[in-house]
Amino acid sequence: MAATADQRLEAFCAFFNKPDKSCTKDLYEFYTPDVLFIDPLHRIEGARALERYFATLYENVTACRFDFHERQRSGDQAFATWTMHLTHPRLDGGREIRVSGCSHLTFAADGRVARHQDYFDAGAMLYERLPLLGGAIRLVKRRLDG
């Protein structure tokens, strides 16, 4: 991270550092009304749709937090690498899952995020953790590896 941290980027990371069921009330402070949110599993347009998505997500999650690592910002573009710690009762027997990823953020002139795209291995987070599908995916990966 640069010697002088970008305050808006740091505030954004702090917002995601400990998300929970109440985080949706602060969402509009960090996202523009027309935000585009993309990850390997979703494409969500608009802050209201994103609020509904987060509310549903955290309703079913036991715990979720992000440890942010490297952060860089140049103009309106920023990147942050992170490790997500997720506990969900239906994934991996309710044990904590750790997934590494990166967020690409585009900031609007008002300092809020207008575009948020996350990059991570959806298989490591979800598909490999499901009882039947996970075993099949791990078998295919082992065969590809060797």
Q: What is the CATH number of the domain that holds 70?
A: 3.10.450.50
- What is the span of the domain harbouring residue 80? 7-120
How far apart CA 98 and CA 85 sit, in angstroms, is: 5
Flag the least confident range among 18-27, 35-44, 50-59, 88-97.
18-27
Report pLDDT digits (tens) over 58-71: 787 888 889 999 99
Would 1 be classed as within a structural domain?
A: no
For residue 84, give the nearest of 71, 100, 73, 96 by alpha carbon: 100
Neighbours of 145 (CB within 10 A): 6
Does 46 score more than 60 pLDDT? yes
For residue 15, the model assigns a pLDDT of 87
Would 71 be classed as within a structural domain?
A: yes
> How confident is the model over 21-34, as a mean pLDDT?
84
For residue 62, the model assigns a pLDDT of 86
Q: Which whole-number Å values give the CA distances from 74 to 68, 110, 114, in the listed order?
A: 18, 16, 15
- Provide the strand spans (E) within 11-143: 31-39, 42-45, 63-74, 77-87, 97-107, 113-120
Query: How many structural domains does the chain have?
Result: 1
Does 2 score more than 50 pLDDT? no
How far apart CA 57 and CA 20 sit, in angstroms, is: 9
For residue 89, the model assigns a pLDDT of 83
Report pLDDT digits (tens) over 98-118: 999 999 999 999 999 999 999
